[in-house]
Amino acid sequence: MLAKLVPDAEAFARAIAAHDAAVSAHGLGIWLGNEPTFTLMQSTAPEWLTEAVGAEKTERARQIVLELTKQAPHAVLLRSIGRKYAGEAEARFSFGIFGRRDGRRIYDGPPDPWQTSATGSADLAPFHAQLASELSQAGLACRAFAGTSDLRILFAREQATRLPDSLEEERLLRASVHHAPLTETSSCDDLAKEGLFLLLLRKNDEGAAVLELPSLPDLDLFCALLECAARAARAAMLPALVLCGFPPPVTAECTFLTVTPDPAVVEINMPPFASVGEFLEQNRHAYAAAAAAGLTPYRLRHNGVVADSGGAGQITFGGSSPSESPFLRVPQLLPRLLRYVLRHPCFSYLFAHDYVGASGQSVRPDERGADTLAELRLSLALLEAQPQVDAATLWQSLAPCLTDPTGNAHRAELNVEKLWNPAEPGRGQLGLVEMRALRMQDTPERAAALGALMRAVIAMLMVREYHDELSDQSALLHDRFALPYFLEADLEEVLRDLTAAGFGFDASLEAELRRDGFRHFATIEYAGVELTLRRGLEFWPLVGDVTLQQGSSRLVDASTARLELVLRAADAQGEELLAGCELRALDHVLPLHTETDARGVARVFAVRYRSFRPRQGLHPLLGEQSPLTLSLSHPKLDQALELNLYDWKPSGGGYDALPSDIAEARSRRVARCVTRRLPRVELGAPKAIAPRALSAHALDLRYPSTG
């Protein structure tokens, strides 16, 4: 059965509060933030499958940011410039909400046109003159002039600053940053680096006034500019004002939430929070705003498979400022965290998206091979031999090993791009570590539970030494730990560690971490024995030249599926028969492992097979192996159970439409499992297994049979 998606609200809130209290009691100061991503589930338009930008996506993002402004009446709506990517005509949009953490209003001028029904074309001339006057009265050196199609003001922080004499200087007449040609420097404000700040005043297509902001170095100057703009706009009787341009400076005193596009999704970049309680509250607002705009945190496939949104659910950890980052205050923390995460593959795979492994989006160091693991082991030994390590040395020691096999640091499971990268002062030196092996979670409660889990691990490693050797999981990594059963057992070990360290969780939070119903196909009863089928993990390889696949989307062969099979006793008869049950896949007898857990005895194994034949992929000689035929029997019983697992509609043909919701998706998964009873004698003699087809925990049915 699929567990309910939302836990008891009061019990879950108490569990989160208890976690926050445990961390606070140690004065650890571990902040966390995330970037939830949402998609238009039923759409097959490119902007919701592969492309980053599109008109509908822009409109849905606008709806989201407007909904979120209702939760932040003290903040201001900014339409700042977004990221610029090669091959895209313009910079991506970035709709932001900027405010103070203490709740004080940061701007009291006319609202953005999206936030008001007031109409009428703006007269820029009075606003231009009044704004120049306000800046001068605020003690800022100021000069107003006209551009080619707009009005401009150049100002500096100090009255004594000498402004350029020539108003024809090319940089003073630069194009709007929103429409500047895409170059390596087009996202940089070169004037601001010299202490000169350029404002552009223009009208948009609807006739509303637009003020394009420069890149400002600190919060005080940014707030002073907002105050001047608000007073000038009110004096000029502007009904509305768009604030755009460069993004604002962000400090521990303020929050900046942005809504931006990414391939297939709209992404909400949340500000960091000092507690999981705040994280949960604000994520609830974000999920609700996305839902109001018609977007979901997952996609449903025609055959009932639940995939994530197409983005991911990374969670980032740090401090209230770079200097307060736990990873910089306790230099031993990151080496400990690396060793602990590599010791426990549940962090890598249990909560992950579909694209894991060396070709995936969150590569473990040991998935790059023995050489990388050996170098990382040496790096850790050298770091731990030092009595004190500075931030730059910590980053330089570990960053080379924390990449994917092509050297892409953004695809590492533990991403340290923003820890302390000297090549990127500012953005790269924030003291942050990002946990990337997380799918976009279906509920904010699930996201908060994962935030609490990783935060508790960080807290434990801050207050307790951890000396376990860097783990080499070897062949078990993509075999044993490809199965949910063993990942769940690994999670239980982590939970026991946290409890022993004083950072354990209440039952409600633990239950949320254990919820994993989307992998479930069916549970079938046979003479008091239950057979449960769940989707295991696969580690799909890249297809073609890896060096040509460095974009946001890469081609993999996703045709291999792994199915976890678990037998348990459902009653007294099942307890008697369980040990003697024979489970076959395509007439191969599976060598089941006998395990024991809190529920009792379980017999576990997996099969791998080609679920479809890809248009472009590996092994052209290998055909589709769906439906997958399984049989369950016992020598004492005359009847056997035959099960056929289809990867598509059992009756043939296509589905009329995508599932409308999670419940319908589950019913389609269950319907793909077709069973019948047959005389055991009809099973016949089992087939021999090709030696290469058998690993410790799975039978690979893609290998030709030997008999």
**Tell me: the pLDDT tens digits for 242-260?**
999 999 999 889 999 999 9
Provide the 3-class DSSP secondary structure of residue 323. Answer: helix
27 within some domain: yes
Does residue 217 sit in the same domain as residue 344? no
Does residue 477 sit in the same domain as residue 393? yes
292 within some domain: no
Enumerate residues 6+ apart whose C-beta is below 8 A from 200: 147, 150, 151, 152, 176, 210, 211, 212, 245
Please report the pLDDT score of residue 549 as a whole number: 52
- Length of the chain as a residue count: 707
CA distance 365 to 349: 14
Contact 152, 198 (CB under 8 A): yes
Domain boundary among 239, 256, 273: 256
Question: For the chain, give me the number of helices (H) and strands (E)?
Answer: 16, 27
Does residue 97 sit in the same domain as residue 245? yes
- Which residues of the chain carry a pLDDT beneath 70? 1-5, 160, 165-168, 181-187, 545-553, 706-707
CA distance 442 to 434: 20
Handedness of CA 699, 703, 705, 706 (dihedral sign): negative
Please report the pLDDT score of residue 2 as a whole number: 40
Please report the pLDDT score of residue 550 as a whole number: 52
Domain boundary among 202, 231, 256: 256
Q: What is the dihedral of CA 353, 354, 356, 359, to 10 degrees?
A: -130
Contact 348, 341 (CB under 8 A): yes
Enumerate residues 6+ apart whose C-beta is below 8 A from 385: none
Residue closest to 412 by CA, chosen among 372, 469, 358: 358
Does residue 99 sit in the same domain as residue 235? yes
pTM of the model: 0.94
DSSP state of 350: T
Place of tokens 């791998």: 608
Does residue 424 sit in the same domain as residue 532? no
52 within some domain: no
Does residue 492 sit in the same domain as residue 543? no
Please report the pLDDT score of residue 546 as a whole number: 53
Does residue 502 sit in the same domain as residue 554? no
CA distance 438 to 22: 24
CA distance 439 to 595: 28
Strands 600-610 and 560-569: antiparallel
Residue 389: count other Cβ atoms within 10 Å of its Cβ. Answer: 19
Please report the pLDDT score of residue 427 as a whole number: 83
Please report the pLDDT score of residue 164 as a whole number: 79
229 within some domain: yes
Please report the pLDDT score of residue 3 as a whole number: 45
Tally of structural domains, the chain: 3
Does residue 147 sit in the same domain as residue 171? yes
Does residue 28 sit in the same domain as residue 128? no
23 within some domain: yes
Domain boundary among 513, 539, 563: 513
Does residue 356 sit in the same domain as residue 234? no
282 within some domain: no
Does residue 561 sit in the same domain as residue 693? yes
Enumerate residues 6+ apart whose C-beta is below 8 A from 392: 420, 422
Cis preceding-peptide flag for 627 (omega within 30 of 0)? yes
3-state DSSP percent of the chain in helix, strand and coil, to 5: 35, 20, 45
141 within some domain: yes
Please report the pLDDT score of residue 547 as a whole number: 53
137 within some domain: yes
Assign residue 38 a region (left: φ > 0; alpha: ψ between -120 and 50; beta: otherwise): beta
Provide the 3-class DSSP secondary structure of residue 14. Answer: helix
Q: Which domain holds residue 172?
A: 58-256
Residue closest to 128 by CA, chosen among 201, 20, 29: 201
Does residue 603 sit in the same domain as residue 535? yes
